[in-house]
Chains A and B, each alone.
Chain A
Amino acid sequence: AQTVTQSQPEMSVQEAETVTLSCTYDTSESDYYLFWYKQPPSRQMILVIRQEAYKQQNATENRFSVNFQKAAKSFSLKISDSQLGDAAMYFCAYTSAAGNKLTFGGGTRVLVKP
């Protein structure tokens, strides 16, 4: 069974600084997708960034970028120029190429200090 692990329950960052969230996963499949979702207090899960496992190039979305290390089964998220609106729970998630379900990590709470 696939598992996703986020080892940092909480991370704190100064506004305008950079923070990196860790995620590791375990799978025997070669084709899959990885995601980072943001969940603010409103509960609405918002997709931040996605990565297809067959792509070697790391995904970027504005201030968000990932470091995807397939061999190490690692998928970290870097938030640059942190803003107060980035404060939320961040979940790393995995799905197989068939996309039957998402397997989530335990989440990392990001606090942004003004």
Chain B
Amino acid sequence: GAGVSQSPSNKVTEKGKDVELRCDPISGHTALYWYRQSLGQGLEFLIYFQGNSAPDKSGLPSDRFSAERTGGSVSTLTIQRTQQEDSAVYLCASKLGGISSYNEQFFGPGTRLTVL
């Protein structure tokens, strides 16, 4: 079946603009994660959705970052008033929810964001 997809693949924006990054998880996966991969900070957890529960937003670096997940499927990560330090690859992952013997997260190809 189809894997995790993300769009756009690459995004170039100007400082101060808002951007939206999209993630389509694997069908049937109830858990969805966003991570950020940057040269200076490595791979960082941003936010986690599980079913209808309140999301775990503990990794969001500032209030300029927000995410939502509609209908328990597609998720959008929004960055407002982008800064140059937001430049990074944003990775999305999904996982079967509940007790899983493997606990494996499946990753999308990422969106490379460049803020000029």
Residues of A within 8 A of B (CB): 33, 35, 37, 42-47, 50, 52, 91, 95, 97, 99-107
Complexed CA–CA distance, A37 and B106 (Å): 10
Complexed CA–CA distance, A44 and B105 (Å): 12
A selection of 30 A-B contacts at a CB cut-off of 8 Å is A33-B103, A35-B104, A42-B109, A43-B89, A43-B91, A43-B112, A44-B109, A44-B110, A45-B93, A45-B107, A46-B107, A47-B104, A50-B102, A50-B103, A52-B101, A95-B103, A99-B31, A100-B48, A101-B45, A101-B56, A101-B59, A102-B33, A102-B35, A102-B43, A102-B93, A104-B42, A104-B43, A105-B42, A107-B42, A107-B43
Residue pair B45, A91 in contact (C-beta under 8 Å): no
Main secondary structure of the interface of B (DSSP, over half): strand
- Type the 1/0 row for B21-35, where 1 means its CB is closer than 8 Å to any CB of A: 000000000010101
Residue pair B48, A101 in contact (C-beta under 8 Å): yes
Residues of B within 8 A of A (CB): 31, 33, 35, 42-43, 45, 48, 56, 59, 89, 91, 93, 95, 100-110, 112
B12 to chain A, nearest CB (A): 16
Q: Determine the chain A residues whose CB is within 8 A of the CB of B48 once the complex forms.
A: 100-101
Residue pair B102, A106 in contact (C-beta under 8 Å): no
B44 to chain A, nearest CB (A): 8
Q: Determine the chain A residues whose CB is within 8 A of the CB of B112 once the complex forms.
A: 43
Given contacts A42-B109, A95-B103, A100-B56, 11 further A-B contacts (CB under 8 A): A33-B103, A35-B104, A37-B107, A43-B89, A43-B91, A44-B108, A45-B93, A47-B104, A100-B48, A101-B59, A102-B105
